[in-house]
Amino acid sequence: MTIMASGQIRWRRGLLSYAGRTLVMGVVNVTPDSFSDGGLYLEPDKAIARGLELEDEGAAIIDVGGESTRPGARPIPAEEELRRVLPVVEGLARRLSIPLSIDTYKARVAEQAIAMGASMVNDISGLQFDAALAGVLARAGVPVVLSHIQGTPETMQRAPRYADLLGEVKASLQAGIALAERAGVSPDAIIVDPGIGFGKTAAHNLELLRRLSELQALGRPVLVGPSRKSFIGRVLGADGLVEEGTAAAVVAAILHGANLVRVHDVARLRWAVRMADAIKFGVA
Ligand code: PMM
């Protein structure tokens, strides 16, 4: 699966076009403790059904994750992550007609998930956490999302600090791109993500959304994942509707250059995405 200059992503079974529209990545967390959907899809049948439902609702990619990366979360062993995700990947990948992405930073998990049918890897560490992952990606020839993080999920929200937020995020993503390309990952198979909430204060997240267009200098498709993150509650307060806040963040991201957005509630968010796309691209 490769990403072509024309705004298309080639995957095992076809092409995904992000020319003139934003691709929605729908989330299925097979974890007991993820921030918003922890515990809901721990049973493989429920997770598979949820993935199929997200496809019906208009998702272009389904992202399956087995380790929570919420602030303070401890890493889990690869065996446990594989135990959670492999039955879901195996059951879901062959039923979906869209790509299944595996949300992991571990080479072993990525490799086995790809063997079971995953066609894309989503690494929240941007290749910082597992030196073996780049080789797995290169050998499999699958695209990867490289996301920015400062610290680790366990420590990242203790005291995030930047002298130059956009400069540091861009430099770190560029280092991840260089590492991937040195390992043999195709330059057009790399998607970048500023990592909303990953070692960032609410002010940092808002600044990243406001200045997102600066990431286009990296010359790669941009993915953004603001869905249900705590900066929304920080802005809206206890009475705020998180899904409305997510919709606003998704629209801002799209108008500032996001090509893909990662969300939990595809059925609701698709309307905000469709409206933002009409503003950005015009009505087809
Ligand atoms: N956020 C989470 C998990 N994976 N992947 C990418 N590429 N970007 C993100 O912003 C991102 C991610 C955490 O969210 P969740 O646990 O609520 O799904």
Q: Which amino acid is at 116?
A: M
Nearest CA to 242 among 255, 230, 258, 254? Answer: 230
Number of domains in the chain: 1
Q: Is 106 a catalytic residue?
A: no
Say if residues 28 and 41 touch (Cβ distance below 8 Å): yes
Nearest CA to 51 among 111, 103, 109? Answer: 103
**Which backbone phi and psi does 131 adopt, to 5 degrees?**
-65, -20
- From the candidates 229, 234, 270, 274, give the one annotated as an active-site residue: 229
pLDDT of residue 36: 77
How far, in Å, are 96, 142, 213 from residue 128 at the CA level? Answer: 30, 18, 24
Q: Is 46 a catalytic residue?
A: no
Q: Is the CB of 262 under 6 A from ligand 1?
A: yes
Q: Is the CB of 64 under 6 A from ligand 1?
A: no
CATH code, 125: 3.20.20.20
Q: What is the DSSP string of 11-69?
A: ETTEEEE-TTSPEEEEEEE-SSS-TTTTTTT-SHHHHHHHHHHHHHTT-SEEEEE-S--
Q: Is the CB of 27 under 6 A from ligand 1?
A: yes
Query: Sheet holding 61-65: strands in order across?
Result: 190-193, 144-147, 120-123, 100-103, 61-65, 23-29, 260-263, 223-224
Mutation pick for ligand 1 pocket among 25, 68, 128, 147 (CB with most ligand atoms within 8 Å): 147
- The least confident of 15-19, 109-113, 123-127, 266-270 is 15-19
Q: What is the domain extent for residue 225?
A: 2-281
Q: 216-255, pLDDT tens digit by residue?
A: 999 999 999 999 999 999 999 999 999 999 999 999 999 9
Nearest CA to ligand 1 atom 1: 225
Whether residue 3 has pLDDT greater than 70: no
Q: 34-82, pLDDT tens digit by residue?
A: 777 878 888 999 999 999 999 999 999 999 999 999 999 999 999 999 9
